[in-house]
Amino acid sequence: MLKKLFSALAVVFCLAAPVSAQENIKKLPDPQTSGGVPLMEAVQKRHTAREFSAEKIDDQTLSDILYVAWGISHDGKRTIPTSMNKQNLAVYAVMPDGAWLYDAAGNRLIQVTAEDLRPLFDSQDYMKDARLTLVFTGSDPKNSPLHAGSAYQNVGLYAASRGLNNVVRGWFDRDGVAKALNLKPEEVIISQTIGWPYK
């Protein structure tokens, strides 16, 4: 009798499971934490390049980009320093198949929306084919923008090391992005588009 009751409760519990149990998750390959060009060469090569082909960014490269931006590298801490280790930053990947929140601890992406948000970033025509835009967000008005700056610099250096193009972008539909990501407009700090040049 008790067993039947538990089974019934289990069914009810499963039916009432929060939406998060049905989250769309994209597991990423482990980031490559060695290799690349020497640091001084990457610093020398880092530059803004506003040209993005439609060539896909493979999952390994995506994982590496997210890791340099906001991965966990030591003692639960990040690849960038954060004020009092409060880690007040979030990184979203906007791609053709929707917008995804980077979960560094799980090395995965959690889909926030399946909508293609790239039109919110196409105020400049070089964006039309771009497949990956990172959005840096945070709720600490003093420190989150500083963290975003560290993250986009790491990504810029990685891009230089890999021959990827990138541009940091403050000019996009901030309100539209905030709405789509369910954030306050002031939490949306900056974006960065990354992609392969045309061949």
Sites of contact with ligand FMN (CB under 6 A): 47-48, 50, 124, 167-171, 190
Q: Is residue 158 within 8 Å of 68, Cβ to Cβ?
A: yes
Q: Which is nearer to ligand FMN, 127 or 183 (CB)?
A: 127
Q: Are 46 and 160 in contact (CB under 8 A)?
A: yes
Q: Cα dihedral angle (43, 148, 75, 102), rounded to 10 degrees?
A: -110
- Residue nearer to ligand FMN on the CB measure, 95 or 189: 189
**How many C-beta neighbours within 10 Å does residue 104 have?**
20
* Residue 63 or 192 having the CB closest to ligand FMN: 192
Query: Minimum distance from CB of 191 to ligand FMN (Å)?
Result: 8
The distance of closest approach from Cβ of residue 116 to ligand FMN in the complex, given in angstroms and rounded to an integer, is 20
Q: Compute the least distance from the CB of residue 183 to ligand FMN, in Å.
A: 18
What would the two tokens of residue 96 be? 């053709």
Tell me the C-alpha distance between 57 and 63, whole Å.
10
Query: In whole angstroms, how close is the CB of 48 to ligand FMN at the nearest point?
Result: 3
